[in-house]
């Protein structure tokens, strides 16, 4: 009896040991599975971050979009894209800190632009090339002019313009673009046929210019309303006349005409065909700008540009000081996309 009892106790001890070992193995398997799952999740999540820096992280999606739109996914431009993105991220941080981030109107315009970019890409390529980023974030990355200008006002509120330098800049600018500073509306006749042109020119000053134009151009009839066209300004005829080698003295003569006056006959050349034309201009109306105001606006634009240049340099200093660290997993994830 004693031996059998001893055997039963031994069997029970072995069974307990086996149950303990089975439980231990099961626990180890569970721990391994949980750890593997956690590592897998962490790896996937870690790849979502392209950079870390003192105060935050930069998403891999941000870099993908930035490199795509600004640098056309050019591998040679990756470093430039990284630096530019770092500047944008820090710019947003400071804008939020100072309470000068996007206005509601700016945000709406940015998201509308982003939606258009997405739609255009999808129309051309038949898939959403920006599926990995929202319109809101896409707009935030590329429409920073508002926060930039307001931060520049905070950090670079003034700029001391060298007056000698400005005088030289203004004189050079005015010499090149002076004809843009007035609203001169004109009618004109021109032709490469000397006889046809002479017939029209002889009538100038003796009858309404619009009547001459109706006879001169076959496509105009008696009931056609002839709208004057601008001589000056961005869309003015002067740009074309200059390209057609209008002589400087003819240009000065033309720009000196007052409302109701006619120009002399002037020669111009079509440089593509080599054809020679003659033209007579009638000034229908003229409104000159206040050149003191124009000069003041030009000065203000130079000062604004210089302040923004200085602020850009400051943003690059912020980048150098921000302790950015590239996340290799996130970096490798972007490399695998192209």
Quote the strand ranges of 105-235, DSSP E. Answer: 182-191, 229-230
Phi and psi at 268, nearest 5°, equal: -140, 160
Are 209 and 187 within 8 A, CB to CB?
A: yes
4 has a pLDDT exceeding 70? no
Over residues 56-67, the pLDDT tens digits come to 888 888 888 888
Greater model confidence, 14 or 257: 257
pLDDT averaged over the chain? 82
208-224 average pLDDT score: 83
Cα(98)–Cα(111) distance, rounded to whole angstroms? 23
Percent of the chain with pLDDT over 90: 41
Cα(132)–Cα(318) distance, rounded to whole angstroms? 28
pLDDT of residue 102: 95
DSSP 3-state of 63: helix
Global pTM value: 0.66
Cα(270)–Cα(285) distance, rounded to whole angstroms? 27
Quote the strand ranges of the chain, DSSP E. Answer: 49-53, 56-59, 182-191, 229-230, 266-269, 276-288, 325-326
How many other CB atoms are found less than 10 A from the CB of residue 185?
18
107 has a pLDDT exceeding 90? yes
Cα(185)–Cα(182) distance, rounded to whole angstroms? 10
How many other CB atoms are found less than 10 A from the CB of residue 55?
10
Smallest Cα–Cα separation from 67: which of 47, 43, 50?
50
Residue 283, exposed/middle/buried by CB under 10 A (0-12, 13-18, 19+)? buried
pLDDT of residue 316: 93
**What are the structural domain ranges in the chain?**
49-159+311-335, 182-288
11-35 average pLDDT score: 43
157 has a pLDDT exceeding 50? yes
pLDDT of residue 248: 87
pLDDT of residue 17: 55
Q: What secondary structure letter does DSSP report for 275?
A: -
Quote the strand ranges of 29-74, DSSP E. Answer: 49-53, 56-59
Cα(28)–Cα(30) distance, rounded to whole angstroms? 5
50-56 average pLDDT score: 83
Estimate the crossing angle of helix 145-155 against helix 291-321, to 10 degrees: 90
């Amino acid at each position: 009896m004693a031996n059998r009892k001893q055997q039963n106790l031994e069997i029970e001890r072995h069974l307990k040991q086996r149950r303990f070992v089975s439980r231990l193995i099961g626990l180890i398997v569970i721990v391994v599975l949980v750890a593997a799952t956690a590592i897998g999740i962490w790896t996937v999540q870690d790849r979502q971050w392209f950079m870390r820096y003192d105060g935050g992280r930069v998403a891999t999606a941000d870099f993908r979009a930035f490199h795509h739109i600004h640098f056309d996914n050019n591998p040679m431009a990756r470093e430039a894209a990284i630096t530019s993105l770092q500047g944008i991220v820090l710019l947003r941080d400071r804008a939020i800190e100072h309470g000068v981030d996007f206005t509601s109107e700016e945000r709406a315009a940015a998201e509308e632009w982003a939606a258009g970019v997405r739609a255009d890409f999808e129309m051309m390529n038949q898939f959403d090339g920006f599926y990995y980023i929202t319109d809101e974030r896409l707009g935030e990355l590329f429409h920073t002019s508002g926060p930039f200008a307001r931060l520049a006002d905070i950090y670079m509120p003034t700029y001391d313009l060298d007056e000698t330098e400005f005088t030289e800049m203004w004189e050079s600018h005015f010499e090149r673009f002076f004809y843009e500073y007035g609203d001169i509306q004109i009618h004109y006749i021109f032709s490469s046929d000397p006889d046809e042109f002479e017939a029209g020119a002889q009538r100038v000053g003796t009858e309404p210019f619009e009547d001459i134009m109706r006879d001169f151009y076959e496509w105009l009839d008696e009931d056609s309303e002839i709208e004057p066209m601008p001589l000056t300004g961005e869309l003015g005829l002067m740009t074309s006349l200059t390209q057609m080698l209008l002589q400087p003295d003819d240009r000065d003569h033309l720009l000196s005409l007052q409302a109701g006056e006619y120009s002399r006959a002037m020669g111009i050349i079509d440089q593509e065909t080599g054809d020679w034309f003659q033209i007579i201009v009638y000034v229908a109306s003229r409104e000159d700008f206040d050149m003191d105001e124009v000069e003041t606006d030009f000065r203000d634009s130079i000062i604004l540009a210089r302040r923004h240049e200085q602020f850009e340099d400051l943003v690059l200093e912020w980048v150098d000081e921000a302790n950015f660290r590239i996340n290799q997993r996130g970096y490798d994830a972007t490399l695998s996309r192209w």
